[in-house]
Every structure is written in structure tokens, then in C-alpha cells.
Amino acid sequence: MMAREKGIFLYASDSMHRIKEIIDRVANTDVTILIQGESGVGKEVVARSIHLNSNRRDKPFVKVNCAALPQELLESELFGYEKGAFTGAFRRKPGKFELANGGTIFLDEIAEISPSLQAKLLQVMQDREFSRLGGKKDVRVDVRVLAATNKNMEEGVKSGRFREDLYYRLNVVNVTVPPLRERKEEIPIFLEYFLSKFGEKYQKKVKPIPDTLMKAFINHNWLGNVRELENLIQRYVVLGNEEEIISEMNSMKKREISDDRNNGNSSTIKRTSLKDVHREAVRRTETEVIRKALERTNWNGKKAADVLNISYKSLLNKIKEYGVNR
């Protein structure tokens, strides 16, 4: 089993045991590893485990989400820039590759980078040096590269969206993390871990999972994988209402069936809707948690922020975003 925490890698199924064996064999090498799998399966956990089991464990682990920034900003994020390189560049800024020097850089959603950035990344991996935006000198780094994607990279290469030479440079060792629905024997262990985690976080005495809810978890399809399970357990700990969780899972199942009937190809719908499913689940969970904290503190925002362990400003922004009111 994998827990979605920094460096924690727990396993029970045969498939995850094989991945742990791969990690043990490659951790202390410098080979580049491509980690593939659906959204929410725990690709970052695999990457962190590789780093923490390597001889670079005491050096930085730097994560970059390649889909989170516009491509023109991603280049400066990865490689940094010199003072005056562009409007607003008032000082030199080191990039993520410099910050990861001696350690590991984890390039998440690697399939999303543009062709021009692919070329520069290939150069860095081949020569271990690059220039900052606006720079005249090369910067040399010693960085191990781990990459992850939920896309079919071979299809990207065939269609010309991804450079073949970069793909083979990244794919020295391939780790494919199976979806949760293919390793359901791990669900009870995940449940135990997340119940403990959120019970401690929200200072709640957590009730054991009832048989009806356990059965629903085992029968669920888990399109959002471990991340979806984590969100549902968080809701269960906060609300303590098994009927609501089961109702939500049944609603998800009905939507899947409806998508299958209306579109004829459920796999495409599932892949494209995973982020929306996750975003909505997080939104509902955070709304309930914030409301509970406000009710507990008699709607005192600063006290509620302390309970939630976030800044008062962040709490106000979320209250406004989610429309939380009395």
C-alpha cells in the first residue's frame, strides 16, 4: 500500500511489492525513472520513496508540476533568470534545477511541457548544464531526474507531441503504478491509515468503519484512486455519517453508468473527468471542515483559522470562494 504522505510507502499487494523491489534496486543509482499511472494512484509517493532510499536523501527533493504554470513561466521556474531578463525581473532568481543541485528533481505531468522546453530539458539531462533566462554563462548541476505522467507517452511520441529522444532519456527505468481497483486488497489498510491520520488531525475519536461502508468501499470503482479514497475518509471523520458517504459513492456510480450509456466509451470520460471529480470532492470536504470549525468557535474567524492550522487570510479567501455563511 502507498500512503499519500511524504516518504511513506506502505504496500500489501503483489503488484506494489514488485514496485518496492524496483525502488530498492534503483534507489542508489542515478538512472532516470519514468513513473506512470492514473491520477491519484500515488506517483509522487513513489518518487519521494526513491529519493529517501537513495544516497541523495539528505539533499533537496524538488517537485515541479509541469501543468500548473503557463509554458512561458515554466521555463523561468525550471531554469531561473538573470536580473533584467524581462520586465519585472529585478533580481537574479535561481530555478528549480539549481535548487535541486545534489538532490532530486521530480517533474510531475511531464507530458504537458512544450516542444521548446522539451529540447532544453533534453540538453540539461545530456550535458548537466543550462543557462538561465537572460544569462550568458552556463550553470552546471548534479541532479537526478524523476518524471511522472498519467498520459500514454508512446502515443504522444507517435503523434509528434513529445520528442522521441527525450522519451527514451526519461524512460530508462519504467514504474507503472496500478489503479486502486486492481489492488482492492489494500483498501482496509488504507482505511486504517487515513482514519488514524484524520482522527489525529481533527482531534476526533474515530468510529470503526461499519460493515456496510466497508462493503461499499470494496465494491466501488475508484476512478480517483487513492486520492478519492482519502477524500472520502476525510469526510467520514469530519461528518461521522456513513449514509452520506455511501450516498455520494452511489451517485458517482450512477454518473459513470450514465456516461457509459451516453458516450459509448467510458475510458475517455473517466480520464478527462478525474481532475473535476477530485476538485469537487476537495471543495465539498473543505467546505464542511471550515463550517464545523466556525461553528465550534462561534464563528470567530481567527480562532477557526487556528483550529484549522491555516492563516486567517487563507481562511477568509476560502470562506469567500466556497460561499460559507451562517
- Characterize 91-129 residue by residue with b for buried, 16 or more Cβ atoms within 10 angstroms of its Cβ, and e for exposed: eebebbbbebbebbbbbbbbbbbeeebbebbbebbeeee
Could you please state the CATH topology (level 3) that the domain comprising 14-178 is classified under. Answer: Rossmann fold (3.40.50)
Q: How many residues does the chain have?
A: 326
Along the 326 residues of the chain, how does pLDDT read in single tens digits? 444 445 567 678 899 999 999 999 999 999 999 999 999 999 999 999 999 999 999 999 999 999 988 887 898 899 988 887 677 777 888 899 999 999 999 999 999 999 889 999 999 999 999 888 887 888 999 999 999 999 999 999 999 999 999 999 999 999 999 999 999 999 999 999 999 999 999 998 888 889 999 999 999 999 999 999 999 999 999 888 888 889 888 887 777 666 655 555 544 444 445 556 666 777 777 887 888 888 888 888 888 888 787 888 888 888 877 778 76
Structural contact between residues 274 and 40, judged by C-beta atoms closer than 8 angstroms: yes
State how far the Cα of 109 lies from the Cα of 175, in Å rounded to an integer.
Answer: 15
Cell reading at 95: 530555478
Domain boundaries, the chain: 14-178, 181-322
Please report the DSSP string for 43-87 in residue order: HHHHHHHHHHTSTTTTS-EEEEETTSS-HHHHHHHHH-B-TTSST
Alpha helices in the chain (DSSP H): 14-26, 43-52, 71-79, 96-99, 115-127, 153-159, 164-170, 187-201, 211-219, 225-239, 242-263, 266-296, 301-308, 312-322
Spatial CA neighbour of 44 closest among 143, 191, 148, 145: 148
H/E run at residue 91:
none
Structural contact between residues 304 and 290, judged by C-beta atoms closer than 8 angstroms: yes
**Strand order across the beta sheet in which 173-176 lies:** 61-65, 104-108, 144-149, 33-36, 173-176
Q: Which residues contact 152 (CB under 8 A, 6 or more apart)?
A: none
User: Which residue has cell 517533474?
Assistant: 107
Q: Which residues contact 276 (CB under 8 A, 6 or more apart)?
A: none
The pLDDT value recorded for residue 218 is 92
To the nearest 10°, report the CA torsion of 147, 148, 152, 158: -20
Residue 222 CA from chain centroid, whole number: 16
Q: How many CB atoms are located within 10 Å of the residue 227 CB?
A: 21
Please tell me what DSSP assigns to residue 310.
S
The pLDDT value recorded for residue 4 is 45
The pLDDT value recorded for residue 92 is 81
Helix axes 71-79 and 115-127, enclosed angle (nearest 10):
10
Give me the phi and psi of 27, to 5 degrees please.
-55, -45
pTM here?
Answer: 0.75
Q: Is 174 helix (H, G, I), strand (E, B) or coil?
A: strand
